[in-house]
Amino acid sequence: MSDEGRGTRDEPDSVAVLDAPGAPPALPEAQEETVHDRLERVWRDEPGFWGWVTSVNHKRIALRYIITAFVFFILGGIEAAMMRAQLARPENGLIGPDLYNQLFTVHGSTMMFLFAVPIVEAMGLYFVPLMIGTRNVAFPRLNAYGYWTYLIGGALLYVALFTNTGPDQGWFSYVPLAGPEYAPGKRVDVWAQMVTFTEIAAIVGGIEIIVTTFKQRAPGMSLNRVPLFVWAMVVMSFMVLFAMPWVATASTLFLAMDRLIGTHFFNVAEGGDALLWQHLFWFFGHPEVYIIFIPALGMVSSIVATFTSRPVFGYTAMTLSLVATGFLSFGLWVHHMFATPLPQLGLSFFTASSAMITLPTGVQIFCWLATIWAGRARFATPLLFVVGFVVLFVFGGMTGLMLAAVPLDLQITDTFFVPGHIHYVLLGGMVFPLFGAFYYWFPKITGRMLSDRAGKVQFWFLFAGVNVAFFPMLMLGFAGMPRRVYTYLPEMGWGGLNFTATLGAALIALGVVIFLANVAWALRNGRLAGADPWGGDTLEWATSSPPPDYNFAHIPIVRGRAALWAAGHELPVVTGLREDRREVLVTTMLDAMPDSRHEAPEPTVGPLLAALATGVAFTVGIFTVWGFFIGGLLLYPALLVWAWPRGKKPREHEVIEVPE
């Protein structure tokens, strides 16, 4: 066991230690073994396929999300590669307009709905319960339901793409182009219902994270001791609750119904309004990108703290910045509509709000810089990705300010400047922290270390690739190239920049391949990690790698903000939770005082059945409105399987406390 990558915090190697006099007696080693065994028996899944299908283990479900989302990332990347191949030369005949239109639509939809939100939410679903010291999320069965629903939505989109029914009106699907008159067939309906599935999953995940964080924190973890990553996930989850319904309603209730049963929400001839769609979509769409970005800010905080061996500077400013960013992001949406016939007078307000949101993010960056300055900085791969993030995101943010100025926006919106901007901020602002987080947390998830050297090589490929691919796009915007064009004339002079961008895409692809190779190698041959290879400050490093099904043999007690660094040599823990049934500790919201013991639900196939019923509702509903009724009818029995009392023997030791 080498010492590379370790912090200064000592790694003791015995399990049970006798206490100072006066404290309750420590548990002898023989009994400690049995605790693990008992908890293992109670918390494990059934073996084999049935266990896999009925699992309600948050780590298992989160890992499914992460892997599935990464597969979608690769599929989306392939779509991007195909588009770049087509655009590399003017009047290229590689891909015709119909396929190209499906590609850019499915690429955007995949990345936004099937990759970005699910993967950051899943990092939360995996690590929030660990970081706050609990055993599972608040609603384990609902969590399982969320994943299956998401999977069905993603499958729907790709079955459609592979059968030439892929949506082709852009990932934000403007009407009337996406309406029944100009988009015949079922392509747009597929898009609308895919959004429904992913929106349900996102909302489910959001509810999980909020309730788990509010009510299941370890004793002593008052709100001002909650790790910054958890704060970020909570802010993101609230944003999900308030933003997702807008796109779901607009797509499923309004657009899909205009197409299916003849409603007139967007039909100008009967009093409907094309701008209504834009308002509804972008009221979701702008917070959506911050939903994607804010968890990444949390990941950066986790990484910076661990790799500088000190807490991130300015905890209060950091949390207030997260909350402010979340709030402000709901006030920017009109900056996507500057070229529409909205009253000019109000537009500058949105320039101001778009500028204002720079401030809290800027404060966060200043605090990280201060932390690195004052810390003992180890530049392992995670911290390298953080540095890359700062460079790319700040630059991308500048291009955002250019777009937020109304007069300039009128020139560069709807040109390649926009994909240039969004990829700088999305790749730089989310994917870079995400890869950093992968290198940081892979040891915890799998028990093995990724190769740090390969990580650094990967970083440089990605960093170069992003710049080579997307800086030319910024220039292409100023050269007058509109977006969403499947080809362009040679005399426009756009060929060289497009070719360069395609090269950059190839570099990015190589970077991703290096990552996959690293993962494949590390799963077999990576160095064993142990519980705390980096010397981290948060509670996930207090348990084994990978964590057992029950996360912690005993719930930890938290004495300070950086829970592990504040704990010192021994971790104070809670005793008294039952070991013969699944029990989690519920605490009060503000101060995390122990409040009750909650029986956590056992595995069941109900969530899968409910997801299938939902799948029937929204898939058959593409073709006939009766689909919703059929799906609803199937949903009820599925919910009975989910929630009907199983009739175990009467519960002993149930302690009921009625309200006063």
Partner 1 sequence: MAASVAACSGPQRVLDPAGPQAEHIARLATFLFVTAGIVCAIVFAALALSVQNGRRRADRGEAPDETPDGERRRGRAIGLAAAATTVVLFVYLVAAVRTGRALAWTAEGGPTERAGPPGAPPGLPPERGPFPGGAPLTVEVTGRQWWWEMKYDDPTPSRMLTTANELHIPVGRPVRIVTQSYDVIHSFWVPKLHGKQDMIPGYKNVLWLRADRPGVYRGQCAEYCGHQHAHMAFDVIAESPAEFARWYESQLAPSAPPTDSSAQHGQTVFMSNACIMCHAIGGTPAASRVGPDLTHLASRRTLAAGTLPNTRGHLAGWIVDPQGIKPGARMPSNQLTPDDLNALLDYLRSLK
Partner 2 sequence: MTTPSARTMRPVDRAIGTALERPTRAALDVSDLPTVVFGSRDLIWWGTIGFMIVEGITLSICLIAYVYVRRNFDAWPPHGTPMPSLVAPTLSLAVLLAVLIPTRLFDRAGKRLDEHAVRLWLWVATAITAVACVLRFLEFRAVNVRWDSNAYGSAVWMTLITHFTLLIADLFESGTLALIFTLGRHEPKHFVDATNNAFYTYFMVLVWVVPYLIIYWMPRWL
Chain positions 595 to 614 lying near partner 2, rule: CB under 8 A, are 595-599
Burial 615-632 (b: 16+ CB within 10 A, else e): bbbbbbbbeeeebbeebe
Report the site for partner 2 in 65-124 (rule: CB under 8 A).
67
Span 620-649, contacts to partner 2 by CB under 8 A: 632, 636, 640, 644-645, 647
Whether the ω angle into residue 637 lies within 30 degrees of 0, i.e. cis, is: no
Q: Distance between the two ends of the chain, CA-based, in angstroms?
A: 56
Query: What's the closest the beta carbon of residue 79 comes to partner 1, in angstroms?
Result: 16
Q: Which of 5, 176, 314, 594 is the binder for partner 2 (CB under 8 A)?
A: 594
Residue 3 engages partner 2 in binding (rule: CB under 8 A): no
Q: Which residue of 22, 93, 271, 346 would you call a contact of partner 2, by CB under 8 A?
A: 271
Q: How far is the CB of 309 from partner 2 (least distance, A)?
A: 18
Residue 316: burial class (beta carbons within 10 Å; 0-12, 13-18, 19+): exposed
Nearest residue (CB) to partner 1, 484 versus 581: 484
Residue 233 interacting entry, from partner 1, partner 2, none, C-beta within 5 to 8 Å by type: none
Is residue 341 part of the contact set for partner 2 (CB under 8 A)?
no
Could you say which residues in the range 377-436 bind partner 2, by CB under 8 A? none
DSSP secondary structure code for residue 113 in this structure: I
Q: Does 554 bind partner 2 (CB under 8 A)?
A: yes
Measured from the CB atom, the residue of 136 and 306 that comes closer to partner 1 is: 306
> What is the smallest separation between the CB atom of 414 and partner 1, expressed in angstroms?
4
Tokens coding 528: 């064993």
211 in Cβ contact with 186 (< 8 Å) = no
Q: Which residues pair with 596 in a beta bridge?
A: 586
Burial of 190 per CB tally in 10 Å (0-12, 13-18, 19+): buried
Cβ atoms < 10 Å from Cβ of 8: 7
For the CB of residue 505, give the shortest distance to partner 2 in the complex, in Å: 29
Angle at 648 between CA 644 and CA 654, to 5 degrees: 100
365 binds, among partner 1, partner 2, none (CB under 5 to 8 A by kind): partner 1
Cβ-Cβ contacts under 8 Å for 421 (sequence gap 6 or more): 396, 399, 400, 402, 403, 474
Near partner 2 by CB under 8 A: residue from 123, 160, 226, 280: 280
Q: Considering CB distances under 5 to 8 angstroms, the limit depending on partner class, which of partner 2, partner 1, none binds residue 407? A: partner 1
**Structure letter (DSSP) for residue 648:** P
| Cβ atoms of 121 and 206 closer than 8 Å | yes
Tell me which of partner 2, partner 1, none is bound by residue 355, counting a contact when its beta carbon lies within the kind-specific cut-off of 5 to 8 angstroms: partner 1
- Please report whether residue 446 would count as binding partner 2 according to CB under 8 A: yes
Q: Which of 222, 249, 411, 487 binds partner 2 (CB under 8 A)?
A: 249
From the list 23, 163, 341, 491, which residue makes contact with partner 2 (rule: CB under 8 A)? 23
Pairing verdict, β 583-587 and 594-599: antiparallel
What residues numbered 137-166 form the site for partner 2, per CB under 8 A? 138-139, 142
Point out which span in 202-210, 286-294, 372-380, 385-393 binds partner 2 (CB under 8 A). Answer: 202-210
Helix (H, G, I), strand (E, B) or coil at 378: coil
The yes or no reply on residue 242 touching partner 2 (CB under 8 A) is yes
| Contact between 576 and partner 2 per CB under 8 A | yes
Pick from partner 2, partner 1, none: which does 122 bind, CB < 5 to 8 A by kind? Answer: none
User: Whose CA is closest to 612, among 149, 157, 69?
Assistant: 149
| Rounded-to-integer distance, Cα 658 and Cα 634, Å | 36
Q: Binds 395, which of partner 2, partner 1, none (CB < 5 to 8 A, cut-off by type)?
A: partner 1
Pick between residue 92 and residue 249 the one whose CB is nearest to partner 2. Answer: 249
262 counts as binding partner 2 under rule CB under 8 A = yes
Specify the 3-state DSSP secondary structure of 597: strand
With beta carbons less than 8 A apart as the criterion, state whether 59 and 552 touch.
no
What minimum distance in Å lies between the beta carbon of 462 and partner 1?
18
